[in-house]
Amino acid sequence: MTNAIVTNREIHVRAQVSQDGDGSLERPFSSIQQAADIALPGDRVIVHDGVYREWVAPKNGGADIHSRIVYEAAEGEHPVIKGSEIIDAWVHDQGTVWKAEIPNALFGNYNPFDIPLEGDWLEQPNDWKLSLGDVYLDGRSLFQARTYDDVCTAVPRQFGPGPDWVKFPLRIPDVERTRLQWYAEVTKDTTIIWANFADADPNRSLVEINVRAACFMPIHTGIDYITVRGFEMAHAACQWAPPTADQPGMVGPHWAKGWIIEDNHLHDAKCSAISLGKEYSTGNNEAYYEGLKPGYQCQLETVFRARHYGWDKERVGSHVVRNNIIHDCGQNGVVGHLGCINSLIEHNDIHDIGTKYEYFGHEIAGIKLHAAIDVIIRNNNIHDCILGTWLDWQAQGTRVTSNVYHRNVRDFMIEVTHGPCLIDNNVFASSYNFDNAAQGTAYVHNLFCGSTRKIAVTNRFTPYHLPHSTRVLGTACVYGNDDRIIQNIFAAAQVINGTDTRGTDVYDGAPASEAEYVAKVHSLGIGDLELFEQVPQPAYIDGNVYLNGTESYDREIHNLMSETDPHVHVVTKDDGTVWCELTLNAPLDVDTRIIDTDVLGVPRLVRQRYENPDGTPLVIDRDINGIARKRVPTPGPFEELSIGHNLIRVF
């Protein structure tokens, strides 16, 4: 939004005051929405202590980065925005089951208990439908039961692995949690909820149910330059958010530009906490609702529709998501398709995403982005998630740097993208580090403690772009390789699946240069596409350290190989700091050099350099903690390593 009026007012909000306030410090508004209805560029909405049970939908945005509208917690105070309402009129039903009859007027035109959780790529459960509803006992989310009888008999449900989930060693909730279930029936006038609270008395405890789709999100698109700072938000009944749908979240810009979401505590969204994603007009679950085309084709059309409708960095993206604590959400900590371009995601603590195992689909991760063009993901602590970070489609110009991943089922996945994408200075400490279903990715100075998997995807042609632009240059499938794997440490103790690797030997047989690759293709004679399909793309692999008996690419010239186990562990201390400990028995003596844009070259198809989002060259001359690298740098993310035990802070 561009608005010539810049007022620079302070508008105050305080819960449980008279509703006839004027927004002054002396007579504050009682709801944040009252302030959101009048706030203009330059205004600061200062929110004081209290619980605000509302969906804040800003009507106006800032004019530019210098004249924002800022919504922030008052200094030293703790405002909480909840998508839930308290239910305190429970009647004992039987055993440990209680019953509440709730007038549907409480929900208005959005009753989560009457709306199914559904959409493209949502797969489990596949024989009944969950709703968007949730019941919370003293802040803890209960599980939805299939039937009333299941609630009454406390039948343990199967959480987590169904037939298609066997691949991953999922953590299953404990037996106590399986008893705390609820079941709902919606009639014309009321919603009846039966809940098994075990030994708790719901009329003496805090019991809440979610009633709103969001906590802080505009209804309309194009509400630009807003800052949201210092809030706790919880209990939004937001819908499943695949890339082919409107992507709702508990908080987010809803297809706008220049938001800052920082210093918040975000938890217990039904699906996604922060959405930087697309909006309704470019497609909404057409594969699921119509069934005429596969989801892949619908998603491809979404990209081209967005271009026709004005998808570019002048209109959308350039958001900042930083210093947030995000946890216990069903689908994502941060989600985004198209609308996430040119954004920065940094210094967030993201954990327990998807680990309730109440439902499953192919869009679940701590951070799940499609078309993350020129996005930077750095210095985050991502742990105890079903998948840490998933970059899917068009991760062009994306950089994932100086993050720590630990105790995840999988740490990282990159899929059907053609580069350039740079993954550097990260610690991947889970037993399963990543799936590489892409090409043209550079992995530089990382520590890999788990197994990996490389996958070719030859049945999906996905877009790539002109450099630093949303304009589509072409589409291609993923044959694999064209990767740069330089000066990392591989230390996995074992593989999780038979198709995994612990090092870079999966690239054996690939050409070691683009010139060699081109010569092999054209030596096959006259032809076109079929010639390129017969020769593996090149691999650029050098300067890596292989510990614990991990194996190297057969053409790698400079490396170090050892059977010793570095005993890597990531530990979180009582003060919340995160540390990596590892033991070295000998120096990491291998020829290395400072890696920069010139060294990395360009991916074969895209021909865009590995560079900063503004097009300037980059250089990887500092480690995960910002320590300057030596002229001959140490492999892995830590520049300063000693023989013996090392303990290094990483978050």
Q: Please write the tens of the pLDDT for every residue from 21-30.
A: 999 999 999 9
Q: What is the pLDDT of residue 172?
A: 42
pLDDT of res. 445: 98
Read off the tokens for 465. 């772009």
1-83+212-313+320-356 against 372-651: fold identical: yes
What's the pLDDT tens digit per position in 615-625?
Answer: 999 999 999 99
**Prior bond to 242 cis, omega within 30?**
no
Q: Is the pLDDT of residue 169 over 50?
A: no
Least reliable range by pLDDT among 80-94, 158-172, 586-600:
158-172
Mean pLDDT, rounded, for 291-300: 96
Tell me, letter by letter, the H, E, C secondary structure of 459-491. Answer: EEEEEEECCCCCCEEEEEEECCCCCEEECCEEC
Among the residue ranges 4-13, 19-28, 323-332, 440-449, the one predicted with the least confidence is 4-13
DSSP string, 359-382: -EETT-EEEEEES-TT-EEES-EE
Residue 451 has pLDDT above 90, yes or no: yes
Closest CA to 321 of 370, 267, 367, 285: 367
Q: Do 277 and 337 touch, CB atoms closer than 8 A?
A: yes
- 85-210 CATH: 2.60.40.1180
* 564-596 per-position pLDDT tens digit: 999 999 999 999 999 999 999 999 999 999 999
What is the separation of C-alpha 241 from the centre of its chain, rounded to a whole number of angstroms?
12
Instruction: Give pLDDT tens digits for 402-436.
Output: 999 999 999 999 999 999 999 999 999 999 999 99
> SS3 of 399, please?
strand
- pLDDT of residue 250 exceeding 80, the answer is yes
Alpha-carbon gap, residue 263 to 253, rounded angstroms: 16
d(CA 570, CA 561): 23
Residues in contact with 515: Cβ distance below 8 Å, sequence separation at least 6, in sequence order: none
Confidence grade of residue 168 (pLDDT, cut at 50, 70, 90): very low
Residue type, 241: A
Mean pLDDT, residues 335-339: 98
- The whole-number pLDDT of residue 496 equals 78
- How many CB atoms sit inside 10 A of residue 353's CB? 31
Q: Which CATH number fits domain 1-83+212-313+320-356: 2.60.120.620, 2.40.30.30, 2.160.20.10, 3.40.50.360?
A: 2.160.20.10
Per-residue b/e over 590-609, b at no fewer than 16 CB within 10 Å? bebeebebebbbbbbbbebb
CATH 2.160.20.10 fits 372-651, yes or no: yes
pLDDT 10s digits, 182-214 = 999 999 999 999 999 999 999 999 999 999 999
CA distance 545 to 646: 17
Q: Looking at the predicted structure, is the pLDDT value of residue 312 above 50?
A: yes
Cis bond leading into 294, ω under 30°? Answer: no
d(CA 165, CA 159): 11
Element (H, E) at 511: none
Per-residue pLDDT reduced to its tens digit, 461-489: 999 999 999 999 999 999 999 999 999 99
pLDDT tier at 157, thresholds 50, 70, 90: low
Q: Which of 223, 226, 393, 396 is nearest to 315 (CA)?
A: 223
pLDDT at 179: 66
Q: What percent of the chain has pLDDT over 70?
A: 95
pLDDT at 153: 81
Angle at Cα 321 formed by Cα 316 and Cα 326, nearest 5°?
130
Among residues 484, 488, 483, 481, the alpha carbon closest in space to that of 502 is found at 488
217 in Cβ contact with 252 (< 8 Å)? yes
Whether residue 161 is predicted with pLDDT greater than 60 in this model: the reply is no
Q: Give Cα 460 distance to the centre of its chain.
A: 23
Structure tokens, 74: 């008052």
The token pair that represents 161 in the structure block: 């692995």
Q: Which residues lie across from 226 on neighbouring strands?
A: 69
- The pair of structure tokens assigned to 283 is 């497609």
Structural contact between residues 618 and 595, judged by C-beta atoms closer than 8 angstroms? no
pLDDT (average), residues 277-301: 95
Beta strand pairing call for 619-620 and 644-649: unpaired
Kind of pairing, strands 260-262 and 226-229? parallel
Structure tokens at 403: 């993050």
510 vs 538: CA distance, rounded Å:
5
Q: Give me the residue spans of the domains in the chain.
A: 1-83+212-313+320-356, 85-210, 372-651
**How crowded is residue 174: how many other Cβ atoms within 10 Å of its Cβ?**
8
At residue 167 the predicted structure's pLDDT band, cuts being 50, 70 and 90, is: very low
pLDDT in tens, 347-398: 999 999 999 999 999 999 999 999 999 999 999 999 999 999 999 999 999 9
Instruction: Grade residue 166 by pLDDT with cuts at 50, 70 and 90.
Output: very low
What b-and-e string marks burial along 180-194, b requiring 16 or more CB atoms within 10 Å of the CB?
bbbbbebeeeebebb
CA distance 380 to 450: 19
- pLDDT, mean of residues 305-328: 97
pLDDT of residue 497: 76
Q: What tokens does 140 get?
A: 């803890």
* Average pLDDT taken over every residue of the chain: 94
Q: What pLDDT is attached to residue 495?
A: 83
Nearest partner of 32 among 72, 61, 77, 65, judged by Cα: 72
Q: In what order do the strands lie in the sheet with 332-337?
A: 272-275, 332-337, 365-370, 389-392, 412-415, 432-437, 451-454
Confidence category of residue 154, pLDDT binned at 50, 70, 90? low
pTM for this model (two decimals): 0.96
Higher pLDDT, 496 or 39: 39
With CA atoms as reference, report the closest residue to 367 among 351, 383, 389: 389
> Does the structure show a pLDDT above 80 at 598?
yes
279 — pLDDT class (breaks 50, 70, 90):
very high
Residue 491: partners with Cβ closer than 8 Å, 6 or more residues away: 447, 448, 449, 547, 548, 550, 565, 566, 568, 582
Q: What totals of helices (H) and strands (E) does the chain contain, helices first?
A: 8, 51
Contacts 24+ apart (CB under 8 A), 504-507: 504/539, 504/541, 504/544, 504/551, 504/552, 504/553, 504/556, 505/551, 505/552, 505/553, 505/554, 506/454, 507/454, 507/481, 507/483, 507/539, 507/541, 507/553
- Helix spans in 513-614 (H): 514-522, 529-532, 597-600
